[in-house]
Amino acid sequence: MQIERAAADFLDYQDAIAGYAETTINAYRRDMQGLVSWLSRRGVTSAENITAKLLRDRIAALCRSPKKRSSAGRAVSVYRSFARFLHAAGVIPRNLAPAIDPPARKHEQLASRVLSQEQVAAILDGCDTSTPIGLRDRALLELAYATGLRVSELVGLDLVQVGGHTIRVIGKGNKERIVPVGATANDALQGYLEQGRPELATETTGPAVFVTYRGNRLSRKRAWDIVKDAARAVGIVQDVFPHTFRHSCATHLLENGMDLRAIQEVLGHADVSTTEVYTHVNRKRLMRIHGEFHPRA
């Protein structure tokens, strides 16, 4: 079977069976297009000739490229799924997924993207809540940190999903989960819904919780800009993205004693092994703090 045909069948399967969001399917498509092109340049055109080493080499190439390094972690998941698909379809004789390794030192990369509790507090307290836009931005940031929601989940929230100090989230694969909202974030959200959103909404505004000054649903890109601008405004020079708040939420929950399984439920991870990376981050941060403060460290 030609690799192009195998990749197309795999994407059709993911779209029809797995129930992933459109953004996830688009990301899978980009990863598969990159893989097909990469294999073609190496003379591999038949899916039967795909090996675990080839897939590992492709991941290693992504890790070496500054522009593509962030895609390497997702590529591992995509290539493992592709390998399982090829095996189930009888294209290759054995499942290559277990032999496809993730990029090295993932927990160290993650640790560099976690904000301290003081940095998060500075960002949240730095919001100007004297305007409807400011109320919206504060609510968005408070909710991102309080719940660890993905940016697609944040901007996709509808009014019927919030209330009673909880949020009903429709996550990856259309899986539903209930996420608690702390008092501070809930106050910020209610303040925006009562005083900010009515000023931004128009007659054509739909059920979206977070809307633009024109009354349209907030986009993922605009949410990214809000987070980055809020961090810069308080002098944080490192890159800060919506996912930084998700990582920081999980790390701080773990630092303060929350059970790993409970954090898995909050984040919506299908497998606890995905959540376990935060135990490495927590251990690394604990060692750093111990080294700074212990007199004989």
Which positions are annotated as active-site residues? 150, 172, 243, 246, 269, 278
Nearest to 144 by CA among 81, 188, 109: 188
Collapsing DSSP states into helix, strand and coil, what is residue 211?
Answer: strand
Residue 54 burial (10 A CB sphere; 0-12, 13-18, 19+)? middle
Distance CA 286, CA 297 (A): 12
Per-position DSSP letters for 143-174, written without gaps between them: HHHHH---HHHHHT-BGGGEETTEEEEE-GGG
Starting at the edge strand found earlier in the chain, the sheet holding 162-163 runs: 162-163, 166-170, 176-180
Given the structure tokens 């899978």, which residue do they identify?
28
Residues 6+ apart with CB under 8 A from 266: 147, 148, 177, 179, 180, 249, 250, 253
Measuring CA to CA, which residue among 291, 287, 294 is closest to residue 111?
Answer: 287
Report the candidate in 288, 294, 295 with the shortest Cα–Cα distance to residue 116.
288
- Beta-carbon count within 10 A of 17 CB: 8
The Cα 165–Cα 180 span in angstroms is 6
Q: Is 269 exposed, middle or buried (0-12, 13-18, 19+ CB in 10 A)?
A: middle
